[in-house]
Protein backbone atom coordinates (compact mmCIF):
# COMPACT_ATOMS: atom_id res chain seq x y z
CA UNK A 1 0.00 0.00 0.00
CA UNK A 2 1.30 3.48 -0.77
CA UNK A 3 0.41 6.97 0.39
CA UNK A 4 0.58 8.72 -2.98
CA UNK A 5 -2.13 6.81 -4.85
CA UNK A 6 0.51 5.92 -7.47
CA UNK A 7 2.25 2.55 -7.59
CA UNK A 8 5.77 2.52 -9.03
CA UNK A 9 7.43 -0.88 -9.16
CA UNK A 10 9.86 -3.26 -10.75
CA UNK A 11 8.87 -6.95 -10.93
CA UNK A 12 11.93 -9.12 -11.49
CA UNK A 13 11.92 -12.91 -11.92
CA UNK A 14 14.62 -14.61 -9.83
CA UNK A 15 16.03 -18.10 -9.45
CA UNK A 16 17.02 -17.80 -5.80
CA UNK A 17 14.91 -15.95 -3.23
CA UNK A 18 17.33 -17.10 -0.50
CA UNK A 19 20.15 -15.07 -2.10
CA UNK A 20 17.95 -11.96 -2.23
CA UNK A 21 16.92 -12.55 1.39
CA UNK A 22 20.60 -12.80 2.38
CA UNK A 23 21.33 -9.52 0.57
CA UNK A 24 18.44 -7.86 2.40
CA UNK A 25 19.97 -8.97 5.71
CA UNK A 26 23.39 -7.54 4.82
CA UNK A 27 21.76 -4.22 3.85
CA UNK A 28 20.10 -3.94 7.25
CA UNK A 29 16.62 -4.12 5.74
CA UNK A 30 13.65 -4.60 8.07
CA UNK A 31 11.37 -7.61 7.78
CA UNK A 32 7.81 -6.21 7.74
CA UNK A 33 5.91 -9.48 7.34
CA UNK A 34 7.09 -13.07 7.23
CA UNK A 35 6.13 -15.28 4.34
CA UNK A 36 2.42 -16.04 4.28
CA UNK A 37 0.03 -17.38 1.66
CA UNK A 38 -1.77 -14.62 -0.19
CA UNK A 39 -5.05 -15.29 -1.99
CA UNK A 40 -6.30 -12.86 -4.61
CA UNK A 41 -9.57 -12.64 -6.51
CA UNK A 42 -9.92 -10.31 -9.49
CA UNK A 43 -13.40 -8.96 -10.15
CA UNK A 44 -14.86 -7.69 -13.38
CA UNK A 45 -18.13 -7.29 -15.24
CA UNK A 46 -19.44 -10.00 -17.57
CA UNK A 47 -18.07 -8.12 -20.59
CA UNK A 48 -14.67 -7.60 -18.86
CA UNK A 49 -15.05 -3.83 -18.93
CA UNK A 50 -12.35 -3.21 -16.29
CA UNK A 51 -9.67 -5.40 -17.86
CA UNK A 52 -10.51 -3.91 -21.25
CA UNK A 53 -9.56 -0.51 -19.80
CA UNK A 54 -6.40 -1.93 -18.21
CA UNK A 55 -7.87 -1.67 -14.70
CA UNK A 56 -7.90 -4.13 -11.80
CA UNK A 57 -10.40 -4.58 -8.98
CA UNK A 58 -9.03 -7.05 -6.45
CA UNK A 59 -9.98 -8.63 -3.14
CA UNK A 60 -6.96 -9.97 -1.24
CA UNK A 61 -6.48 -12.12 1.85
CA UNK A 62 -2.94 -12.09 3.26
CA UNK A 63 -2.58 -13.56 6.70
CA UNK A 64 -5.02 -11.68 8.94
CA UNK A 65 -5.35 -8.77 6.50
CA UNK A 66 -8.22 -8.26 4.03
CA UNK A 67 -7.59 -5.65 1.34
CA UNK A 68 -9.65 -4.11 -1.46
CA UNK A 69 -7.55 -2.66 -4.29
CA UNK A 70 -8.31 -0.70 -7.43
CA UNK A 71 -5.52 -0.19 -9.98
CA UNK A 72 -5.78 2.04 -13.03
CA UNK A 73 -4.06 1.51 -16.38
CA UNK A 74 -0.29 1.01 -16.28
CA UNK A 75 2.31 3.08 -18.08
CA UNK A 76 6.05 2.45 -18.14
CA UNK A 77 9.02 4.65 -17.44
CA UNK A 78 11.74 2.41 -18.80
CA UNK A 79 11.31 -0.83 -16.86
CA UNK A 80 9.34 0.80 -14.03
CA UNK A 81 5.59 0.18 -14.00
CA UNK A 82 3.57 3.23 -12.96
CA UNK A 83 -0.16 3.11 -12.26
CA UNK A 84 -2.83 4.62 -10.03
CA UNK A 85 -3.47 2.41 -7.02
CA UNK A 86 -5.97 2.78 -4.19
CA UNK A 87 -6.19 0.27 -1.35
CA UNK A 88 -8.13 -0.03 1.84
CA UNK A 89 -8.34 -2.62 4.55
CA UNK A 90 -11.74 -4.23 4.98
CA UNK A 91 -13.08 -6.46 7.71
CA UNK A 92 -15.31 -8.86 5.82
CA UNK A 93 -14.12 -10.13 2.45
CA UNK A 94 -17.18 -12.28 1.82
CA UNK A 95 -19.63 -9.42 2.43
CA UNK A 96 -17.58 -7.13 0.18
CA UNK A 97 -17.74 -9.79 -2.55
CA UNK A 98 -21.52 -10.00 -2.11
CA UNK A 99 -21.78 -6.21 -2.51
CA UNK A 100 -19.71 -6.26 -5.69
CA UNK A 101 -21.75 -9.16 -7.10
CA UNK A 102 -24.93 -7.13 -6.46
CA UNK A 103 -23.32 -4.30 -8.47
CA UNK A 104 -22.65 -6.59 -11.45
CA UNK A 105 -19.10 -7.71 -10.70
CA UNK A 106 -18.01 -11.32 -10.35
CA UNK A 107 -14.78 -13.14 -9.61
CA UNK A 108 -13.02 -13.84 -12.91
CA UNK A 109 -9.66 -15.24 -11.86
CA UNK A 110 -7.83 -16.27 -8.69
CA UNK A 111 -4.14 -16.28 -7.99
CA UNK A 112 -1.99 -17.22 -5.03
CA UNK A 113 1.53 -16.57 -3.91
CA UNK A 114 3.60 -16.87 -0.78
CA UNK A 115 4.73 -13.34 0.01
CA UNK A 116 7.19 -11.87 2.48
CA UNK A 117 7.71 -8.12 2.79
CA UNK A 118 10.82 -6.10 3.65
CA UNK A 119 11.59 -2.38 3.90
CA UNK A 120 14.86 -0.78 2.89
CA UNK A 121 15.13 3.00 2.96
CA UNK A 122 11.88 4.30 1.43
CA UNK A 123 11.34 1.18 -0.70
CA UNK A 124 9.27 -1.92 -0.07
CA UNK A 125 10.74 -5.21 -1.30
CA UNK A 126 8.49 -8.23 -1.59
CA UNK A 127 9.65 -11.77 -2.20
CA UNK A 128 6.98 -13.75 -4.02
CA UNK A 129 6.93 -17.50 -4.51
CA UNK A 130 4.30 -18.39 -7.12
CA UNK A 131 3.21 -21.59 -8.89
CA UNK A 132 5.28 -20.47 -11.93
CA UNK A 133 8.43 -19.35 -10.12
CA UNK A 134 9.84 -16.65 -7.91
CA UNK A 135 9.77 -12.88 -8.25
CA UNK A 136 11.02 -9.84 -6.39
CA UNK A 137 8.99 -6.64 -6.52
CA UNK A 138 10.62 -3.37 -5.53
CA UNK A 139 8.15 -0.55 -4.96
CA UNK A 140 8.84 3.02 -3.95
CA UNK A 141 10.03 6.34 -5.33
CA UNK A 142 11.05 5.89 -8.97
CA UNK A 143 14.46 7.44 -8.37
CA UNK A 144 15.18 4.85 -5.66
CA UNK A 145 13.85 1.50 -6.81
CA UNK A 146 16.48 0.83 -9.48
CA UNK A 147 19.34 1.36 -7.02
CA UNK A 148 17.60 -0.80 -4.40
CA UNK A 149 17.20 -3.59 -6.97
CA UNK A 150 20.88 -3.35 -7.90
CA UNK A 151 21.90 -3.41 -4.20
CA UNK A 152 20.03 -6.73 -3.96
CA UNK A 153 22.03 -8.15 -6.85
CA UNK A 154 19.18 -7.71 -9.34
CA UNK A 155 19.26 -6.06 -12.74
CA UNK A 156 16.35 -3.62 -13.25
CA UNK A 157 16.47 -4.34 -16.98
CA UNK A 158 15.32 -7.90 -16.17
CA UNK A 159 11.98 -6.51 -14.93
CA UNK A 160 8.88 -7.93 -16.59
CA UNK A 161 5.92 -5.83 -17.60
CA UNK A 162 3.13 -8.31 -17.14
CA UNK A 163 0.80 -8.82 -14.24
CA UNK A 164 0.90 -12.16 -12.48
CA UNK A 165 -2.21 -13.16 -14.43
CA UNK A 166 -0.73 -12.29 -17.84
CA UNK A 167 2.57 -13.95 -16.89
CA UNK A 168 0.62 -17.06 -15.81
CA UNK A 169 -1.21 -17.13 -19.14
CA UNK A 170 2.13 -16.94 -20.99
CA UNK A 171 3.60 -19.65 -18.73
CA UNK A 172 0.63 -21.94 -19.42
CA UNK A 173 1.03 -21.39 -23.19
CA UNK A 174 4.74 -22.31 -22.98
CA UNK A 175 3.98 -25.45 -20.96
CA UNK A 176 0.89 -27.17 -22.43
CA UNK A 177 2.27 -30.52 -21.23
CA UNK A 178 1.62 -29.46 -17.61
CA UNK A 179 -2.18 -29.06 -18.06
CA UNK A 180 -2.32 -26.04 -15.75
CA UNK A 181 -5.57 -24.43 -14.55
CA UNK A 182 -6.62 -20.92 -15.65
CA UNK A 183 -6.29 -19.76 -12.03
CA UNK A 184 -2.71 -19.39 -10.74
CA UNK A 185 -3.07 -21.49 -7.60
CA UNK A 186 -0.89 -23.97 -5.80
CA UNK A 187 -1.89 -27.62 -6.13
CA UNK A 188 -3.52 -29.33 -3.18
- Give the chain's radius of gyration (CA, Å): 17
Q: Domains plus CATH for the chain?
A: 6-178 (2.40.320.10)
Task: Identify which of 21, 19, 42 has the alpha carbon closest to the alpha carbon of residue 31.
Answer: 21
Over the stretch 47-77, which tens digit does the pLDDT of each residue have? 999 999 999 999 999 989 999 999 999 999 9
Over the stretch 148-172, which tens digit does the pLDDT of each residue have? 999 999 999 999 999 999 999 999 9
Q: Are the C-beta atoms of 46 and 30 separated by less than 8 Å?
A: no
pTM, rounded to two decimals: 0.94
Residue 95: CB partners within 8 Å, gap ≥ 6?
none
* Burial class, 132, CB count within 10 angstroms (exposed 0-12 / middle 13-18 / buried 19+): buried
- If one counts every other C-beta atom within 10 angstroms of the C-beta of residue 147, the result is 13
How many angstroms separate the CA atoms of 170 and 4, rounded?
Answer: 31
Amino acid sequence: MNDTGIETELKIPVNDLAAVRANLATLDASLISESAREENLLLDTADRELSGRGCVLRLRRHGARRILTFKGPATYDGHIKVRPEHELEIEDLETMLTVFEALGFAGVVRYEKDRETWRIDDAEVVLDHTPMGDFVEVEGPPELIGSVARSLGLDPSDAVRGSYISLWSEFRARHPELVLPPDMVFGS
